[in-house]
Chain A
Amino acid sequence: MIYSWIKKSYSRQLGALLLTTGLLISGAIAFFNFQAAVNLTRETMQESSEQLAKTLALVISDDVRYNKYFQLWDRLNQVYKSSRRSNLKPGSLVIREIAVIDNHELILGHTEPGNNQLQLPYQHELIDSLNHDVGSISDAYSHWFNKNSTLVTVLPVYFSSERIGTLILDINTSRLDAIEQKLLRTFWFYLLAILVILFCVSYIFSKWITKPLNQSIRYLDTLGRGNIRLPELTLRNDEFRVLGISIEDADMRLYNDTQELISYRDHLEDQVKARTKELESFSYSVSHDLRSPLRAIDGFSKALLDDNSDQLDEQGRSYLNRVCAATKRMGLLIDDILMLSRVSRTEMNYASVNLSELATKIVYHLQEQEPRHSVNVTIQKNLVCQGDKRLLNIALENLLGNAWKYTHGSDKATIELGQTRQDGDTVFYIQDNGVGFDMQFSKKLFDPFQRLHGSEFEGTGIGLATVQRIIFKHNGLIWANASVDEGATFYFRIGNRTAYPEQNK
């Protein structure tokens, strides 16, 4: 977890690297110092013990040589008591016991004679555990019994050049243990202090190192606006100077390139607008201009049928009826194309629009035109949105007209206009139980002149394209969900200006 937290920041990585390296080096130095201090203390104690033993051996040699037991015991006891008295003085040795044995390892003197009686074999648990034979030790020899907190120093006692016995000095090292504990506590304290200092230094150092980098990163967000100035970097003398200059150059280049692209885009958009306008004008003109000859064809064809039908055979009348039907269909196409063209050119006039009222009127007109088509229409009340009333009316006319048209043939035709919530937005829908359509063609649904049904249903294939264009002009979306013979539902959303039913406000 900490590793992933560190990995997320270069500053943290640098800080962690510095901290770890510093801690390892400092820890190693502190540890070696601690060990050196411990060793020095031990060496000093061992040296003092051996020095004391040597001095004592000189003092007692006469007593040992001439078996002056009491004097020997007295001297040993004086040294022993003196060490006990100086127990609290720093650097003093605390003697646990002193023994002097002869060459046969019989006791000549002991600070605890009750336990090690004169002229009896010497008993010493620690000495017994040594592999050395005490009599074979020819010079000062010290051994640490750490578990027993004891340092044992063994020294031969000579009289002239004759070995007359052995001095055994037991030093209580528990004070040394206390000193080592103190040293250990000091070691941990220093390590903690080093950790804190290193942490602060690492933090400051990593921030200092990564400061220019962070400045660079911060300015990268605004790269391309042509206003990046990095004097903190460009005035430096290190690698970050190159980085700063590069960022400024890149920013300026991007800005210039972007400006060129924007300029070219505007130019292209102007061209597209001009072409579109030309096309729409052309389309309107063509559609409008086609109406006159079309009316002439339709009018003269009907006049020919009315006035000269008896001069025409059945086939001729049939041809003229087909001409009339074709001109009628062409008229509808022209009307729809004009409508589509008008929708595109219409300036938006926003206002609060009651879709329920518009739908009610549209349905009324549909029922008037086809009273024999029985449809159960349900319109939710007070469906209100912000939009262009005239365009929304056209959209509803197309959507409701489609629903009306494709429910022909249904026994219990139903159409419902309502609203629902999807993904937090208000969505209007028009649902019918008509013939529906196959969803695999849903992508072509809103393309102009695309029809999903045959000649059994009239239509030019422009209505849904017109509806989509109206919804898009309202910054909205339209989509459908359907299946064959189970009806269709068209959903549309009008931008962010969402309407709510009045009663729910």
Chain B
Amino acid sequence: MVKPIVFVINILFFLTASILAAADVSVKSHDFVVSGVIINSGNANLIERFTQYLTAKSGHSLKPVFASTYQELSNTLRDNPDAIGWTCGAPYVQDHALDKQQLLSVPLFNGKPLYYSVIVTRKGRPEKSLTDFKQQILSYSDPRSNSGFVAPAFQLKKQGIAIKTHFRLLLNAGNHERSITAVLNGLADVAAIDEYVWVEYLKKFPQTGKSLHIIDRIGPFPFTPVVAGRSVPSDTIDKLNDALVNMPADAEGRQLLKELGIDGFVIKQNKFYDDIKVMLTELGWRLN
């Protein structure tokens, strides 16, 4: 008599487990791919907290994924179109054109969704602009970085100078922080740095200001956007946008914004990045 009861209980257990496993597929998390400006030394924990905050506020599970280059980020969103990303203006413009990447929100830096590319070199040097660094070494964060490469390349191109021949060497440092380090250690003579990263870097390493200084600014440009892959549904985008835009409304959001060094997020349309699109077109990037 007991054995049939045990058998029935076992059957019920396996059925329940199978239903729960199916339900888990329906709540699958989105990759939140981060690269470029957001990856600073030691802020992985902050990104994880930011991701958890968005998960909690949007109701959509996000899992942080760190890409070492913008190309890797673009490839990830291309191959995994459900993913969310925090990218740079130039890659976004190209990825939007080629992969239908969707724009969510743009961070506010100093109250505006804009930033500059700052030209940094060692103090005591005579050069005043990028043109003065002929046959020297430019350090940049990523070949697809707007502030690190596109902006200086466009700046020089406007003067009829090809960035690849103007400098003796273009040094790909991997990110803005390392680009600063390259100039600081004499590896490179000059670097184009995201203004936001430069400000954050000086907060962490104030002594850097004694060795390096800004000799020029290029911009302003639309700031680095939060984007979504082509398959992310609009309600998800809306919920994520709500979570981002309303961050200043709660204490945890404000604390995260303070730690990230930005003032909040604002929803922008794709045309907001037209200036970058113009630059990329001028520089010959493939946009269709």
Would A73 and B187 count as touching, CB distance under 8 A? yes
Q: Kindly identify which residue among B172, B174, B186 contacts A113, using a CB–CB cutoff of 8 Å.
A: B186
Would A113 and B187 count as touching, CB distance under 8 A? yes
Kindly supply a per-residue 1/0 record for chain B positions 170-186, scoring 1 wherever the CB is within 8 Å of any chain A CB and 0 otherwise. 01111000100010011
| Interface residue stretch chosen among A114-122, A354-362, A475-483, A491-499 | A114-122
Would B182 and A70 count as touching, CB distance under 8 A? yes
Would A70 and B186 count as touching, CB distance under 8 A? no
Q: How far is the CB of A63 from chain B (nearest CB, A)?
A: 11
Q: How far is the CB of A246 from chain B (nearest CB, A)?
A: 93
Query: Given the complex, which residues of B lie within 8 Å of A117, measured CB to CB?
Result: 137, 186, 189
A70-B139, A70-B178 known; A118 vs B185 contact (CB < 8 Å): no
Instruction: Select from chain A the residue with minimum beta-carbon distance to B178.
Output: A70
Any A CB within 8 A of the CB of B213: no
Query: Given the complex, which residues of B lie within 8 Å of A113, measured CB to CB?
Result: 185-187
B interface residues, tally (CB under 8 Å): 15
Tell me the interface secondary structure of chain A in the complex.
Answer: loop
Any B CB within 8 A of the CB of A199: no
Complex Cα gap A117–B186 (Å): 8
A interface residues, tally (CB under 8 Å): 15
Query: Given the complex, which residues of A lie within 8 Å of B168, measured CB to CB?
Result: 118-120
Any B CB within 8 A of the CB of A69: yes
A113-B187, A114-B186, A117-B186 known; A70 vs B171 contact (CB < 8 Å): yes
A70-B139, A70-B174, A70-B178 known; A114 vs B185 contact (CB < 8 Å): yes
Complex Cα gap A115–B173 (Å): 19
Q: Kindly identify which residue among A77, A112, A114, A118 contacts B169, using a CB–CB cutoff of 8 Å.
A: A118
Would A119 and B169 count as touching, CB distance under 8 A? yes
Would B178 and A118 count as touching, CB distance under 8 A? no
Query: Given the complex, which residues of B lie within 8 Å of A114, measured CB to CB?
Result: 185-186
Complex Cα gap A68–B172 (Å): 7
Query: Given the complex, which residues of B lie within 8 Å of A120, measured CB to CB?
Result: 168
Query: Given the complex, which residues of A lie within 8 Å of B169, measured CB to CB?
Result: 69, 118-119
Instruction: Select from chain B the residue with minimum beta-carbon distance to A112.
Output: B186
Query: Given the complex, which residues of A lie within 8 Å of B189, measured CB to CB?
Result: 117
Query: Given the complex, which residues of A lie within 8 Å of B185, measured CB to CB?
Result: 73, 77, 113-114
Most buried by A among B173, B174, B178, B185: B185
Query: Given the complex, which residues of A lie within 8 Å of B172, measured CB to CB?
Result: 68-70
Complex Cα gap A258–B172 (Å): 117
Complex Cα gap A150–B205 (Å): 34
Complex Cα gap A175–B189 (Å): 35
A117-B137, A118-B137 known; A69 vs B171 contact (CB < 8 Å): yes
8 A Cβ contacts from A34-61 to B = none
Query: Given the complex, which residues of A lie within 8 Å of B188, measured CB to CB?
Result: 118
Complex Cα gap A114–B183 (Å): 9
Instruction: Select from chain B the residue with minimum beta-carbon distance to A73.
Output: B187
Query: Given the complex, which residues of A lie within 8 Å of B186, measured CB to CB?
Result: 112-115, 117
Kindly supply a per-residue 1/0 record for chain A positions 446-477, scoring 1 wherever the CB is within 8 Å of any chain B CB and 0 otherwise. 00000000000000000000000000000000
Q: How far is the CB of B178 from chain A (nearest CB, A)?
A: 6
Complex Cα gap A192–B218 (Å): 75
Q: How far is the CB of A65 from chain B (nearest CB, A)?
A: 15
Complex Cα gap A113–B188 (Å): 8
Complex Cα gap A73–B178 (Å): 11
Instruction: Select from chain B the residue with minimum beta-carbon distance to A111.
Output: B185
Instruction: Select from chain B the residue with minimum beta-carbon distance to A120.
Output: B168
A118-B171, A119-B169 known; A73 vs B182 contact (CB < 8 Å): yes
8 A Cβ contacts from B121-171 to A = 137, 139, 168-169, 171
Complex Cα gap A396–B189 (Å): 131
Query: Given the complex, which residues of B lie within 8 Å of A73, measured CB to CB?
Result: 182, 185, 187
Complex Cα gap A112–B182 (Å): 11
Q: How far is the CB of B192 from chain A (nearest CB, A)?
A: 15
8 A Cβ contacts from A107-156 to B = 112-115, 117-120
Kindly supply a per-residue 1/0 record for chain B positions 188-210, scoring 1 wherever the CB is within 8 Å of any chain A CB and 0 otherwise. 11000000000000000000000
Would B137 and A70 count as touching, CB distance under 8 A? no
Q: How far is the CB of A378 from chain B (nearest CB, A)?
A: 120
Kindly supply a per-residue 1/0 record for chain A positions 65-77, scoring 1 wherever the CB is within 8 Å of any chain B CB and 0 otherwise. 0001111011001
Q: How far is the CB of B212 from chain A (nearest CB, A)?
A: 13
Q: How far is the CB of B179 from chain A (nearest CB, A)?
A: 8
Complex Cα gap A142–B186 (Å): 28
Q: How far is the CB of A199 from chain B (nearest CB, A)?
A: 61
Complex Cα gap A119–B182 (Å): 15
Query: Given the complex, which residues of B lie within 8 Å of A71, measured CB to CB?
Result: 174
Instruction: Select from chain A the residue with minimum beta-carbon distance to B175.
Output: A70
Query: Given the complex, which residues of A lie within 8 Å of B139, measured CB to CB?
Result: 70
Complex Cα gap A108–B188 (Å): 12
Complex Cα gap A118–B182 (Å): 11
Query: Given the complex, which residues of A lie within 8 Å of B182, measured CB to CB?
Result: 70, 73
Q: How far is the CB of A375 from chain B (nearest CB, A)?
A: 128
Instruction: Select from chain B the residue with minimum beta-carbon distance to A68.
Output: B172
Instruction: Select from chain B the residue with minimum beta-carbon distance to A110.
Output: B187
Most buried by B among A70, A73, A114: A70
8 A Cβ contacts from A59-112 to B = 68-71, 73-74, 77, 112
Complex Cα gap A120–B171 (Å): 14
Query: Given the complex, which residues of A lie within 8 Å of B174, measured CB to CB?
Result: 70-71
Q: How far is the CB of A444 from chain B (nearest CB, A)?
A: 120
Complex Cα gap A69–B185 (Å): 13
Complex Cα gap A114–B174 (Å): 20
Instruction: Select from chain A the residue with minimum beta-carbon distance to B174.
Output: A70
Query: Given the complex, which residues of B lie within 8 Å of A112, measured CB to CB?
Result: 186
What would be 14 A-B contacts, judged by CB atoms less than 8 Å apart?
A69-B169, A69-B187, A70-B139, A70-B172, A70-B174, A73-B182, A77-B185, A112-B186, A113-B187, A115-B186, A118-B137, A119-B137, A119-B169, A120-B168
**Top 9 closest pairs, chain A to chain B, by CB:** A114-B186, A113-B187, A113-B186, A70-B173, A119-B169, A69-B171, A73-B187, A118-B169, A119-B168
* New A-B pairs, 4, CB < 8 Å, besides A69-B187, A112-B186: A70-B182, A73-B185, A113-B186, A115-B186
